[in-house]
Amino acid sequence: MNDELNETLDTELAEEGNELFEHIRFVVDQGQQVERIDLFLTNHISNISRNRVQNAAKAGNILVNDKPVKQNYKVRPNDVISIVFTYPPRDTDIKPQYIPLDIVYEDKDVIVINKQAGLVVHPGHGNFEGTLLHGLAYHFEHTQQNIENRFGYLVHRIDKDTTGLMIVAKNETAQAVLAHQFFEHTIHRRYNALVWGDFDENEGTIVGNIGRSNGDRRKMTVYPLGEHGKEAITHWKVLERFGYVTLNEYRLETGRTHQIRVHSQFIGHPLFNDAMYGGDVILKGTTFTKYRQFIDNCFKIMPRHALHAKELGFVHPTTGEQMMFTSELPADMTQVLEKWRTYLKAKNLFEE
């Protein structure tokens, strides 16, 4: 593999934000000898097994000259190869740990979780235990399931303090098929979020590349001119207006890290109580003491950003059946919304 391709792969081999797969596209060298594509990719891409390449081919994730190919396709000079492949398990040393999990669906290929606030999806960045994967390892062990790597295969994730629906594959084949759906943007995802401010329109679209912030590597930022980061597209629609805050629905075309949170901040409507992106202070409203107390009480009820993954839909990786799941808003978010409804009624009566 030439130096130019090596540089391309080093650039591309990064997590696609909250979607955990890789996408690589390159042109085969003119001097390349004819070779099976599963052997070619295994030999030319680091940290990928032949079995993982073969699963990618079965899922339709390997294209040559924009057409899907099987694992025995013979690579030729100047072929344009595009491959979407999934990550291997991050940490095979994960030990089972009991964690209450709200399992809304499970079969031999997939498991759908309604994740609670405060639960990290996988180990890392100081969270080496107590994660969703630890809980899944315990669940699979105590239900005597023969899972290939004991804790499942991630395809996507949601933030620690975001609640709601996410799917985990139980084998590499299911993981590869689901990754294809995420890459093709055919996964149905709807989020509900309470954000600061009111909107002139009832719906809209936010477009802006998202990448790591140069000032704080824990945060993401929007690069509107597209000179950095990766493409990100978020569609929003107003569900309920409270004057100073708004309940919105969000539909994702891409799955970048913190996408809804950072896009909302970018257009001047950070999520309610999102400390990382400036939503944990009073941004709209009055200066009256009672109003400040009201906001503080809301923050105490919901000490996290107000974001919930409400709907998740996908095509089952084995049966081909269209699956659709809905999750009710969690208690803390529901309670805060009720407080805003009560506040708005009282405000309107006072103004009359």
pLDDT tens, per residue, the chain with 352 residues: 444 443 343 333 334 467 778 888 989 999 899 999 999 999 888 778 888 899 899 999 999 999 999 999 999 999 999 999 887 766 667 889 999 999 999 999 999 999 999 999 988 777 788 999 999 999 999 998 877 778 899 999 999 999 999 999 999 999 999 999 998 889 999 999 999 999 999 999 999 999 999 888 889 999 988 778 989 999 999 999 999 999 999 999 988 999 999 999 999 999 999 999 999 999 999 888 999 999 999 999 999 999 999 999 999 999 999 999 999 999 999 999 999 999 988 876 666 5
Domain containing 113 equals 103-179
Examine residue 80 and state whether it is found in any structural domain, yes or no. Answer: yes
On whether the CB atoms of residues 166 and 122 are closer than 8 A, the answer is: no
Q: Which two tokens stand for residue 78?
A: 């100047």
Examine residue 95 and state whether it is found in any structural domain, yes or no. Answer: no
Q: Is 107 marked active-site? A: no
Q: Residues 163, 174, 8, CA angle at the centre, nearest 5°?
A: 85
Pair (211, 304) in one structural domain: yes
Predicted TM-score (pTM) of the model is 0.88
Residue 180 to residue 85: CA distance in whole angstroms: 8
Residue 53: which of 88, 90, 18, 27 has the closest Cα?
88
Which of 79, 91, 102, 159 is catalytic? The answer is 159
Pair (195, 62) in one structural domain: no
Pair (82, 221) in one structural domain: no
User: Of 179, 210, 231, which closes a domain?
Assistant: 179
What is the CB-side half-sphere exposure of residue 298 using CA atoms within 13 A?
27
Beta bridge partners, 67, equal 64
Residue 70: which of 37, 32, 40 has the closest Cα?
37
Pair (71, 136) in one structural domain: no
Residue 329 to residue 88: CA distance in whole angstroms: 32
Cα 206 vs. chain centroid, distance in angstroms? 17
Domain with residue 64: its CATH number is 3.10.290.10
Pair (217, 328) in one structural domain: yes
